[in-house]
Amino acid sequence: MILETYPPDASSFLKQEKNQFANPVGNTILQEIEDIYEELLHGRDSEKLSDFLDRIIKIRAIQDFSPAQAVAFIFHLKNAVREELGGEIRNDQLFEELLEFEHRIDKLALIAFNTYMKCREKVYEIRVAEVKNRVFSLLKRADMIGEISEQELDIREENIDSVV
Amino acid sequence: MSEDLSNVPKPDELMRIDHKPPRKGWMDVPVDFKPGTYSYTAKAKNLKILGMPNPREWSPTDEDWKLPENWEEIVREGFKDRLDKYRSFQLFMDICVRCGACADKCHFFIGSGDPKNMPVLRAELMRSVYRKEFTTSGKIFGKLAGARELTVDVIKEWFYYFYQCTECRRCSVFCPYGIDTAEITMMGRELLHLLGCGINWAMEPVANCFRTGNHLGIQPHGFKDTLEFFADDIEDLTGIKINVPLNKKGAEILFVVPSGDYFGDPGTYTCMGYMMLFHELGLNYTWSTYASEGGNFGLFTSHEMIKRLNAKIYAEAKRLGVKWILGGECGHMWRVMHQYMDTMNGPADFLEVPTSPITGTRFENAKSTKMVHITEFTSDLMKHNKLRLDPGRNDNLIVTYHDSCNPARAMGLIEEPRYVIRNVCNHFHEMPENTIKEQTFCCGGGAGLGNDENMEMRLRGGFPRGNAVRYVQEKYGVNRLACVCAIDRATLVPVCDYWAPGVAVTGVHEMVANALLMKGEKERTTNLRGEPLPGKEEVEDE
Amino acid sequence: MGLWFSLFTVVILVLLVFMGVGVVGLNSLFGILIPYAALLIFLVGVVYRVGKWTKAPVPFRIPTTCGQQKSHPWIKANNFESPSNTFGVLVRMALEVLLFRSLFRNTRAELRADGPRVVYGGTKWLWLAGLAFHWSFLLILIRHLRFFTEPIPFFVNLVASMDGLFEIGVPTLYVTDIIILLAVTYLFLRRVVIPQIRYISLAADYFPLFLILGVALSGVLMRHFYKVDIYKVKELATGLFSFHPLVPEGIGLAFYIHLFLVSTLLAYFPFSKLMHMGGVFLSPTRNLANNNRMRRHVNPWNYPVKVHTYEEYEDEFREKMKAVGLPVEKE
């Protein structure tokens, strides 16, 4: 389902190619979504979940998705459960369990949003770091940065003292 | 309650929102320039100094690209001219059977999923116009024969996708006819340049390199300062004073590096590595301020520009009267040196067949071009036990090696760097087989795309590489990614930072210098980066 | 659109024969004139196209290296993937042309820990189907020589008897017939089923597939079901090739369909992607040696370009160079 949010040709490629290295996108998503599901069912801690989410969202954060699209897949888990287990839920009156499960999914969505923002911030951080690295080393070489050294600081303090 | 449940929309219904609109044929999908996925355009001043057509200020997001009035004619003429001049171009326009073997081989397609990033479709962007303009069936059957009109939208599409190809040649390894998308991208960019549509991150280095000798526009005195600055750092580290031979007539060897090596970290450590190695060998060599750039962004511009920029290498070797040329660690520079230089600016009959003054080895494989790759040179030294090395000094590094596209696929330089690495470090692990050697994945920022405005596209393209790095990071604890390419040393840093945080990028000769036991050196406590050497951590703390 | 158009065209072609031969009786048009014309177009067209390619210069030596270069004697060079001499190039080309080396590369079987199972299956099928298709086509072509030659050369009989080794049915069922039908069907199906391949496919991709499928089917049909008079077919064929063409009566419609589709294929060949047959030999990324630094490659149109000379450079920076003690040519 997540794979289907990719453009059609891409999604079928992602589904078909099983090799982790020839098709890292599909592989990562499949692997992680399995793990997320496991964790959700057992209602485990959010830290581990955010780890799994991290890998999927990292990919989606730099692809052509809007922020909403990038994390919307979390809600597809609800549909997956309703679709697959709808009959059972109705027959066995498992509505409370369903609500509890969906509550967990909602929490997951919030974590996903955080993760997405973290990835985007990382991208900008990388951009800035790259520019800074380029400019800074150049300026330093060109002796154009007046970094205040310890020595200078001492001298200045002395001067101040003498004025006082 | 059960009522509610049955009213919940079915998954497919929800899914429909997420689906892209019903797909049209690729010819009918226009380009959408989103920030983060394209590079800024070439500034007018850079085109002017090079005498290139249609210099102007413009942006890809503009409706009007201010193309020359007769732009169709220019493209048509330029297309025809290149068909007549390059068998490769003509053949690659004609013989593709669209088997799709290349489709999932492109790092940009894998990372982005955009179908036009499949190499076959990238080439079809051009073939469609070729059919319309130059083939009978295309003229008669039009779209049915895969032909389409040359329109401004096509030009925009070319600009978008030919600057989303890093000319890495991975697809050509898998193509049953050897169709090389790099060749097609180069032609596409040449045609775009006829209209004045280039990117600044390629054209500014070209303009600078033309005038000052290197991409960054570092002037001769600045170049001297920079190298002396490194010499000081080396002295701090080893206690050895290294002199920097510059523009020295009568030296035996002219040494040429990509400017990335003396400009940005971590390339600078590799540069210091060369200097330390040559000092230890007592090599009679020289740097040149005029030929202070081995890299050649002409390769990302046009064949003519390759030649214009490359000419200074042989010219300077001749002026200084050296015997042969040694080249540093760089990817695309080596494609130019290996496959173009001799043809374009040779024959270099004023030089001698390269012979290592230390081992006496004659480099027969470079007997015509007279230029040797630094890892060919160093591996020969190691084979003959001419270097005293302590690989233990690199024990804090768990290393993997990234084959840079051009050395791997345009040169076949595969084992030499590995031999060097194995001699200078104790922990070396290969990445999975279909991501190295001739199947290596690009860093995502080659061919002039390594600018920061294009970062998202670079991270997409760098994903397959990052994924493989992460794999060895998790499996073996790899923390250092070695490569022999200056562009890699700049672009793999963000790729690793995003996809495999904790892995740093290094040049091969940085590790060589760390392991190198130099005559008369003081006890080193750190490596070139200032990281404490293994076993010296406590000393550092005290 | 391309798919339906192609299918439609092939159906029309078959109907044309029904009309032309079956109804109107234009036997000599379909038996003599069209095959002659098609062959002429084929020969002239192929020579023209290949001639055009060979006339275009190869300005640079740009092999794609897929293995270790030849450098030090103690590093094992891979002379077939990164050939440094003519022998290596010949082997590389032979591997490429005869065994589809590059397509095979796709299929390097990769075992995964969880299974273990082989991945990259899809691409391996492409290699297999491609190879099966092309080799069957060649063998079928050789087998057909017995219609044009008297006495029949030994290798033609050899191929035919090998091909019918299983001796199923009368007349013997040829293995290559089965293989080519399966292979073409596979090549067609993958174009339809795999979305990314469907996305890139043009009418020019479907048409030759349908055409070849038509040729093979009509051939099998007339051998096993709608039998035609083989002796009369041979009479026609030898007549065509000795330039004394005559059309024997009563060969059977199936044969004319077969012949007409073959003629169409021949005439279509030079205008199509089928020219890859000739092109593969000329591809500069494959048929050149990776000996760039050993032997200079000459570009016939190498022209002088505007460069920035050292003199111009020094003129601009002389004072700065002198100031930091860099040697200069002119004081």
Q: Is the pLDDT of residue A58 over 80?
A: yes
The crossing angle, in degrees rounded to 10, of helices B486-499 and B267-281 is 140
Q: Looking at residue A135, what is its pLDDT?
A: 65
Confidence at residue B216, expressed as pLDDT on a 0 to 100 scale? 86
Residue of chain A with shortest Cα separation from C198: A9
- Model pLDDT, residue C112: 39
pLDDT of residue A42: 65
Do B338 and B393 lie in one domain? The reply is yes
pLDDT above 70 (res B244): yes
Same domain, B192 and B304: no
Same domain, B112 and B209: no
Query: Confidence class of residue A109 from pLDDT cuts 50, 70 and 90?
Result: confident
Of B124, B311, B343, the CB nearest to C60: B343
Do B189 and B218 lie in a common domain?
no
- The average confidence (pLDDT) of chain B is 91
In sequence order, the 6+-apart residues with CB closer than 8 A to the CB of C65 are: B408, B409, B410, B411, B412, B438, C81, C82, C290
Which of B5, B111, B498 is facing A126, going by the closest CB pair? B498
pLDDT in tens, B50-85: 999 999 999 999 999 999 999 999 999 999 999 999
Question: A58 and chain B: CB distance < 8 Å anywhere?
Answer: yes
Backbone angles phi, psi at A60, to 5 degrees: -70, -25
pLDDT mean over B366-395: 97
Which two tokens mark C42? 């084929």
Give the residue-averaged pLDDT of B282-304. 96
| Helical spans, DSSP H, in B256-372 | 260-263, 267-281, 303-320, 332-335, 342-345
Q: Which residues of B touch A59 (CB under 8 A)?
A: 463
Question: Residue B6 pLDDT more than 90?
Answer: no
Measure the CA–CA gap between C82 and C69, rounded to whole angstroms: 6
Distance CA B145, CA C5 (A): 11
The answer to whether residues B174 and B105 touch, using CB atoms and an 8 Å cutoff, is yes
Q: Is A81 on the interface with B (CB under 8 A)?
A: no
CB contact under 8 A, C195 and A12: yes
Residue B498 is assigned to a structural domain of this protein: yes
pLDDT at residue number A45: 61
Q: A89 — contact with chain B (CB < 8 Å)?
A: yes
Question: What integer pLDDT is reported at residue C197 of this predicted model?
Answer: 86
Q: pLDDT value at position A41? A: 64
Mean local confidence (pLDDT), B136-152: 90
Q: Is A73 helix (H, G, I), strand (E, B) or coil?
A: helix
- Of the candidates C227, C328, C170, A16, which has an alpha carbon nearest to the alpha carbon of residue B100? A16
> How many contacts (CB atoms, under 8 Å) link A and B?
130
pLDDT digits (tens, 9 = 90+) for B304-322: 999 999 999 999 999 999 9
Mean pLDDT lowest among A12-21, A33-42, B252-261, C211-220? A12-21
| pLDDT value, residue B5 | 36
Q: B147 lies in which domain range?
A: 28-198
B173 touches chain A (CB under 8 A): no
Q: C114 to each of A14, A21, A39, B507, C106, how far by Cα in Å?
A: 19, 15, 21, 36, 21
Taking residues B485-492, what's their average pLDDT? 94
Q: What pTM, to 2 d.p., does this model score? A: 0.88
Domain C2-323 belongs to what architecture?
A: Up-down Bundle (1.20)
Residues 407-466 of B with CB under 8 A from C: 408-416, 419, 433-434, 438
Pair (B194, B212) in one structural domain: no
Q: What is the CATH number of the domain that holds B192?
A: 1.10.1060
- Test B115 with A62 for CB contact under 8 angstroms: no
**Which range, A39-53, A103-117, B345-359, is most confident?**
B345-359
Query: Mean pLDDT throughout B109-137?
Result: 92
User: How high is the pLDDT of residue B365?
Assistant: 96
Nearest chain A Cα distance for residue C322, angstroms: 18
Of B356-370, B415-429, C1-15, the least confident:
C1-15
Of the candidates B9, B15, B263, the beta carbon closest to that of A137 is on B263
The residues, ordered by sequence, that sit 6+ positions from C230 with a Cβ below 8 Å of its Cβ are none
Residues B478 and B497 in one domain: yes
User: Is B3 within a domain?
Assistant: no
3-state SS assignment for residue B527: coil
Q: Of B143, B163, B198, which residue sits at a domain end?
A: B198
**Is 80 exceeded by the pLDDT of residue B323?**
yes
pLDDT band at residue A18 under the 50/70/90 scheme: very low
Are B193 and B222 in a shared domain? no
Q: Are residues B114 and B257 in the same domain?
A: no
CB contact under 8 A, C72 and B115: no
Tally the domains of chain A: 1
Contact, C97 vs C280, CB < 8 A? yes
Does the beta-carbon distance from B15 to A11 stay under 8 Å?
no
Predicted local confidence at residue C79, as pLDDT: 95
Indicate whether A73 pLDDT > 70.
yes
Statement to judge: residues B252 and B193 lie in one domain: no
* Residue A22: domain span: 3-163
Q: Which residues of chain C have a pLDDT value below 50? A: 107-122
Q: Which residues in chain C are contacts of A19 at CB distance < 8 A? A: 110, 112, 119-120
**pLDDT > 70 in chain B, percent:** 95
Which pLDDT score, from 0 to 100, does residue C45 have? 96
Q: Which of A44-48, B391-395, C155-159 has the lowest mean pLDDT?
A: A44-48
Average the pLDDT over A36-65 and give the result: 73
